[in-house]
Amino acid sequence: MTRTDATRPYPAAPPPGVSSLSELGPFRRLRPALSLSAVGQWLTVPALTASAVALTQGEDAAARAQAVGVVLGLLLLPAVLLAPLAGLLAARVDRRVALLGADALRFVIVLTVPLLDMLPWTFAAAFLAGLLSLLWTPVALAAPPALVPDGLPDDGPGGGTSGLRAAARRSALRTVSAAAPAAAALFTVLALVGAGIFDGAGERTDLVLYANAAVFLLAAVAVALIKDVAGAEPVHVPSPLALIFRGGRGGRTGAPRGLGAAVTGAALAAGAVTGAARLHAAGLGGGDAGYGAVLLALTAGLGFGIFLGPRVLRPFSRRRLLGLAVVAGALALIVTALVGNLPVAVVATALTGVAAGVAWACGTSVLAPPADPEAEAAEPVEPPSRAYPRAVALVTAFVAVAAVPPLAGALGDTRIDLGGGVYDLAGTGAALLIAAVVALLAGLLAYRRADDRRGVPLVPDLRAALRGEVYVPPGEEPVEADEPAAVRNRGVFIAFEGGEGAGKTTQARLAAIWLRDHGYDVVTTQEPGATKIGMRLRAMLLDRETTGLSIRAESLLYAADRADHVTNVIAPALDRGAIVVSDRYVDSSLAYQGFGRQQPVDEIARVNEWATGGLVPDLTVLLEVPPRTGLNRLSAPADRIESEPQDFHERVRGGFRALADAEPERYLVLDASRPQAELSREIQYRIREILPDPIPLGTEDATHTFPAIRDV
Ligand SMILES: Nc1ncnc2c1ncn2[C@@H]1O[C@H](COP(=O)(O)OP(=O)(O)O)[C@@H](O)[C@H]1O
Ligand SMILES: Cc1cn([C@H]2C[C@H](O)[C@@H](COP(=O)(O)OP(=O)(O)O)O2)c(=O)[nH]c1=O
């Protein structure tokens, strides 16, 4: 059996020479400095929010809520509107100067907030801090990989310079993300200390702000002490709005079905909690410490969810889990909204965080795998496959944090008479409830769109997954191999069709390589002649010496080849969960023997349905090329069919087109005169939509092997 480790391209042990990242002195020194900056960056969020609340102390609830919304919105606004500008700046300025400058400026800005003690300056500080974070983040993510020297020996997949750079990039990402719960914890501690020392809310907030400024100062000093942060190089930061505008299904981002809805739902739930947390916690008697606890629950939950995403309920489809996670997160948010108890709100928020993290992990790793993992590993900042979901998450979170607090203020507290008693629904609770319902709808939409086990009931599917099994609905148990009519497979069947020289063989091969790189069990095959009998049939069919073969006999011989092919190659592979990529299938007979030979297409379709037991591809890629262009591409002497006149090939082309037009959702029609690389990228995007989870995840535990990978 062959084991593919392609989904885990980085070896545990780095190559000799430099055996781990921690042996790189500059990297060792930079990491704590970046950690400090990142903690400062995250701490700014609750610190400035608390400042806005303290500065609006005498005002009514709506004005305070509005101030919170403005601070949070301004913190995120630069990332939404000015991302490409930050990329340009980051590319112009020396990395060390950029890191140092961002920390020093943030030190000054945060320090002046308690000194000036004015709401407009708190707002301005939020915008400026957001702007500097936008500049700092791409530089901080690009700096660690740049510290790995060129030319390290490459003694394995992912080893050497490129392997260590990828590891450094992931380490930088972890450093920045892990700082969020650390900052929330620090804020909670500072709030508790402040509450113990000071009576006034203003002084307590000042303590947090001074501490925040001090963290930035320490970070700036730490960066200043490092001499060897490499210089600048181009950093591309795509505009989130442009990405979303272009995005969606079939857009250039190639976002698969359901991903946008899922990320919107998850980010809405997380953003709404972040926006409402300060006021909601205060309403529940929690003050700043309660606020910190909610933020800690959310951020730690998110991190845990991202870790859990690929590991939880392994036999369960990740695509199903994606929508379910969003729904679960929304339900937890409803609990936060309706139950007026701080510990319950903290626990429910942790669950919302975990669910959002699981959704993110499922969405980005399974639904949007990188088209070219190696190229993405080399990306200094953001893998392109993540750019679209990240843009959706950012813009949704922006809307949520900015809109939920003023919405809560506008709704105000409501007293509902329940007959026997009264129920008090806080304004924040009502706003969270609205956000939760929208997130719930987004989750249900994502579930509908991304589900790859439609028709399989959810509860038994979940129960089986809890037992570590894949649920097989009654009546769909594996059946005898010689009965293609009853193929009950879990795999995916992709056919490549088109005229002579269209590039079917080339693209089928490239698609198979790509799929294998992602750990899928792939069987590549072709018609006619994939089996022993098939080879003899192929010889008869294509030999130019074969003369006088009747059209019906020709059709039946192709169908006979296909029947053998399905029974002995395609069906067994699909039954074991493999992805079958076939160069030609039934459509070739319909196009060549039907349209080309001008025979009744429905009769040929009937014969083929019987021969194949009705097995239809999940996706047919039709490569369209003018017959003359295609035939000119071929180098070998023309076979019996290729030697047919031009108008025969024109009819074949028209036939393929008619078949695709009749069932557009099952076809991907491409102009095959375009460059190969472009075509294969489009094919990959489309294939992603129909991919199941990498089945080895489940099977691996049971068998400790991946299903065999073989070419037929
Ligand atoms: N998009 C393309 N543009 C130009 N040449 C191509 C393209 N795709 C394939 N080819 C070339 O055309 C020839 C036929 O390709 P092949 O994949 O064997 O076609 P088919 O299997 O459809 O007959 C090969 O030499 C291949 O390198
Ligand atoms: C599968 C199939 C192929 N054909 C023809 C098309 C091709 O000319 C030939 C298959 O030869 P092949 O060399 O495999 O063609 P290509 O590389 O273009 O895919 O058989 C039919 O006429 N009917 C069919 O059902």
pLDDT of 403-415, one tens digit each? 999 999 999 999 9
pLDDT band at 372 (very low <50, low <70, confident <90, very high): low
Kindly give the distance from the C-alpha atom of residue 73 to the centroid of ligand 2, in angstroms, as a whole number. 60
Kindly give the distance from the C-alpha atom of residue 597 to the centroid of ligand 2, in angstroms, as a whole number. 14
Question: Measured from the CB, is residue 299 less than 6 Å from ligand 2?
Answer: no
Position 468 scores a pLDDT of 79
Question: Measured from the CB, is residue 608 less than 6 Å from ligand 2?
Answer: no
Kindly give the distance from the C-alpha atom of residue 558 to the centroid of ligand 2, in angstroms, as a whole number. 9
Helix axes 61-81, 119-146, angle to 10 degrees: 30
- Give the H/E segment covering residue 363: none
Position 191 scores a pLDDT of 96
When pLDDT is averaged across residues 613-629 and rounded to a whole number, the result is 94
Known binder of ligand: residue 477? no
Q: pLDDT for 262-302, tens place per residue?
A: 999 999 999 999 999 999 999 999 989 999 999 999 999 99
pLDDT of 127 above 70: yes
What whole-number percentage of the chain has pLDDT above 90?
60
pLDDT of 438 above 70: yes
| Contact residues for 608 (Cβ-Cβ < 8 A; gap 6+) | 559, 562, 586, 589, 590
Known binder of ligand: residue 475? no
Question: Measured from the CB, is residue 506 less than 6 Å from ligand 1?
Answer: yes
pLDDT of 486 above 50: no
Position 648 scores a pLDDT of 94
Instruction: Judge whether 16-237 and 256-371+393-477 match in fold.
Output: yes
Kindly give the distance from the C-alpha atom of residue 18 to the centroid of ligand 2, in angstroms, as a whole number. 53
Q: pLDDT for 223-237, tens place per residue?
A: 998 877 766 565 667
Largest CA distance in the chain: 103
Residue with the nearest Cα to atom 25 of ligand 2?
A: 589
Q: pLDDT for 391-404, tens place per residue?
A: 999 999 999 999 99
| Helix, strand, coil shares, percent, the chain, to 5 | 65, 5, 30
What value, to the nearest 5°, has the Cα angle with vertex 63 and ends 59 and 67?
Answer: 115
| Cα radius of gyration rounded to whole Å, the chain | 30
Position 617 scores a pLDDT of 95
d(CA 21, CA 28) in angstroms, rounded, equals: 8
d(CA 111, CA 214) in angstroms, rounded, equals: 8
pLDDT band at 591 (very low <50, low <70, confident <90, very high): very high
Q: How confident is the prediction for the chain on average, in pLDDT?
A: 86
Lowest mean pLDDT among 15-24, 309-318, 534-543: 15-24
Nearest atom of ligand 1 to the alpha carbon of 583: 21
Give Cα 175 to chain centroid, integer Å: 20
Position 53 scores a pLDDT of 95
Lowest mean pLDDT among 188-202, 303-317, 603-617: 303-317
Residue with the nearest Cα to atom 23 of ligand 1?
A: 501
When pLDDT is averaged across residues 322-350 and rounded to a whole number, the result is 97
Q: pLDDT for 99-115, tens place per residue?
A: 999 999 999 999 999 99
Which two tokens mark 402?
């900015």
Nearest atom of ligand 2 to the alpha carbon of 639: 8
- Length of the chain (residues): 712
pLDDT of 695 above 80: no
Place of tokens 């489940």: 698
pLDDT band at 1 (very low <50, low <70, confident <90, very high): very low
Under 8 Å between Cβ of 327 and 440: yes
pLDDT of 381 above 80: no
Question: Measured from the CB, is residue 554 less than 6 Å from ligand 2?
Answer: no
Which two tokens mark 638?
């023309």
Strand ordering across the sheet containing 579-583: 667-671, 619-624, 492-498, 579-583, 522-526, 710-711
pLDDT of 708 above 70: no
Position 489 scores a pLDDT of 56
Known binder of ligand: residue 503? yes
Pocket test for ligand 2, best of 540, 552, 641 (most atoms within 8 A of CB): 641
Fold entry, domain 16-237: Growth Hormone; Chain: A; (1.20.1250)
Which CATH architecture group holds 256-371+393-477? Up-down Bundle (1.20)
Fold entry, domain 485-711: Rossmann fold (3.40.50)
Kindly give the distance from the C-alpha atom of residue 686 to the centroid of ligand 2, in angstroms, as a whole number. 24
441-479: b (≥16 Cβ within 10 Å) or e: bbbbbbbebbbbbeebeeeebeebbeeeebbeeeeeeee
Place of tokens 């939950």: 301
Question: Measured from the CB, is residue 622 less than 6 Å from ligand 1?
Answer: no
Closest CA to 446 of 267, 572, 310, 593: 267
Known binder of ligand: residue 501? yes
Domain residue extents for the chain: 16-237, 256-371+393-477, 485-711
Question: Measured from the CB, is residue 584 less than 6 Å from ligand 2?
Answer: yes
Q: Which ligand lies nearest the alpha carbon of 527?
A: 2
Q: What is the DSSP track for 644-692? A: S-HHHHHHHHHHHHHHHHHSGGGEEEEETTS-HHHHHHHHHHHHHHH--
Position 239 scores a pLDDT of 84
